[in-house]
Amino acid sequence: MFGQLLSSLADGLLLGFVYGLAAMGLSLIWGVMTVINLAHGPVIALGMFTAYLLFTQAGVNPYLALLPVAVLGMALGLVIYGAAVHRVLNAPHLSTLLATFAVNMIIIGVGTAVFTTSPHNIDFSLGSFSLGPLTVPFTRVVAAFAALAATALLYLFLYFTRPGKAIRAVANNRMAAELMGISSTTMLALSFGLGTLLACLAGGLIATFFPFTILSGGPYELKSFVICVLGGLGNPLGALLGGLLLGGLEGLVPAFMPVSWVPVVEFGLFVLVLLLRPQGLLGAK
């Protein structure tokens, strides 16, 4: 019993790193421009399928494939920002919700037409290791480290580089940033690109251990909302910690009640945090 609990907790925590990475993209976009990107899930799924196509069509190692996945994620983000988000940025919030929801529907529609909705998977394994009662596939461990590395890089970018600081300045006071010579449009587009890049990366990593369809990003999008509320907005470390918290919860809950209760607990927590600590459990904002 205890061994089982331990192994399920370890599973959950390792997944939690990837949840955190997926949420980081949503959190960055939300924090910088107060846009809730409803296309977040399908973008994650596009990351999965990009890695899949590179692997099956060109034989690219799924980890090497992360590089083109990232580049494509940035490009996709710039296109979505330019086509759907920029023009409604200053309109009421409902407009940005509708615009990103439209992008969501387009990606799912095209994705379904091209890939159908039957599951795909990347037939790839690094084996696994056992530690007492634990059996852990190496792909999960690599994914956790990759997520950790991406978090660290994003943090260093935002706090120690000029464009990173300019993104924070635009998030903080767009008008003042313009007055200082910072093109807010450039920085907003860059943030949106980074947000989708992170989502695609998360998708590429998830594809190394779970089968997926074009709809598979949905659950991660929902988890990302919970994590944004737990970890606060625009803060990479907060998103990672929120992801770990959620992953840990997913590991523990099934030991005490049926698995189908997991979302109930997650969203119960979501509502509770919103009610009691709307600035986020870990965030200052």
Give the footprint of other proteins on this chain (CB under 8 A). 162, 165-166, 168-169, 171-173, 175-184, 285
Residue 269 Cβ, how far from other proteins at the closest point, in Å? 26
Residue 257 Cβ, how far from other proteins at the closest point, in Å? 40
- Give whichever of 9 and 239 is closer to other proteins, judged by the CB atom: 239
- Give whichever of 111 and 232 is closer to other proteins, judged by the CB atom: 232
Residue 182 Cβ, how far from other proteins at the closest point, in Å? 5
- Give whichever of 132 and 181 is closer to other proteins, judged by the CB atom: 181
Residue 118 Cβ, how far from other proteins at the closest point, in Å? 47
Q: DSSP assignment of the chain, as one string?
A: -HHHHHHHHHHHHHHHHHHHHHHHHHHHHHHHH----TTHHHHHHHHHHHHHHHHHHH---TTTTHHHHHHHHHHHHHHHIIIIIGGGTTS-HHHHHHHHHHHHHHHHHHHHHHH-SS-B-------EEEETTEEEEHHHHHHHHHHHHHHHHHHHHHHHSHHHHHHHHHHH-HHHHHHTT--HHHHHHHHHHHHHHHHHHHHHHHTTTS-B-TTTHHHHHHHHHHHHHHH-SS-HHHHHHHHHHHHHHHHHHHHHS-GGGHHHHHHHHHHHHHHH-TT-SS---
- Give whichever of 3 and 163 is closer to other proteins, judged by the CB atom: 163
- Give whichever of 166 and 245 is closer to other proteins, judged by the CB atom: 166
- Give whichever of 5 and 178 is closer to other proteins, judged by the CB atom: 178
Residue 170 Cβ, how far from other proteins at the closest point, in Å? 9
Residue 179 Cβ, how far from other proteins at the closest point, in Å? 5
